[in-house]
Amino acid sequence: MKVVEEVQGDDEMCRTIEVAVVEPKVTKLLPNGNNFDANGEELYIPPLNFSMVDNGIFRSGFPDTANFAFLKTLGLRSIVYLCPEPYPEANGQFLKSNGIELFQCGIEGCKEPFVNIPEDTIREALKVVLDRKNHPLLIHCKSGKHRTGCVVGCLRKLQRWCLSSVFDEYQRFAAAKTRVSDQRFMEMFDISGMKNLPISFSSSKR
């Protein structure tokens, strides 16, 4: 992940980020269905739209059982789950067996033009993300595009990113499904009440 900074105007800082979106590789597995190649070597398959946000913070789409071995390598302490549906039993068991705490901040998966993004829920999720005691942490929704994109976009505003950079990162994941309503929400999101929260990630210090 490469961060490029440009100074605009007086002291306004504009940050852009080159994000590597990791798509799961299609790999031929052994007949038993486990994540091993033909030589018996274990394969690590990241979830859809997986990427690092900052030190100790990751994002992705919904992990399934094929992704569990990869998630174990992250040493996660917490997962911020942005869907309102109950967490699947297999995923819950994985969290329990690996000592990972689940924070559910459910947001309905609506489509434009009938979009209602609950600001209080976004703030609740951000408080979990900003607490270093919860790191390493994974933020995910269903596809890792819209709900996850809004939470990460609001985090970037707290990190003093300019809007063009916030939108650029959002669009890298949403691609053709970019929503104007999501971008409007991020633009209007008021960070003034959260400025007292500690932000000590790498890109906020640059």
Catalytic site residues?
141
From the list 194, 125, 121, 132, the residue with the least C-alpha distance to 157 is: 194
Provide the total of helices (H) and of strands (E) in the chain, helices listed first. 7, 7
Q: Are 7 and 14 in contact (CB under 8 A)?
A: yes
Q: Are 109 and 142 in contact (CB under 8 A)?
A: yes
From the list 129, 145, 133, 138, the residue with the least C-alpha distance to 73 is: 138
Q: How far is 5 from 88, CA to CA, in rounded Å?
A: 41
Residue 61 DSSP symbol:
S
Structure tokens belonging to residue 114: 């009938």
Residues recorded for the chain:
206
Q: Are 59 and 138 in contact (CB under 8 A)?
A: yes
Query: What is the separation of C-alpha 147 from the centre of its chain, rounded to a whole number of angstroms?
Result: 9
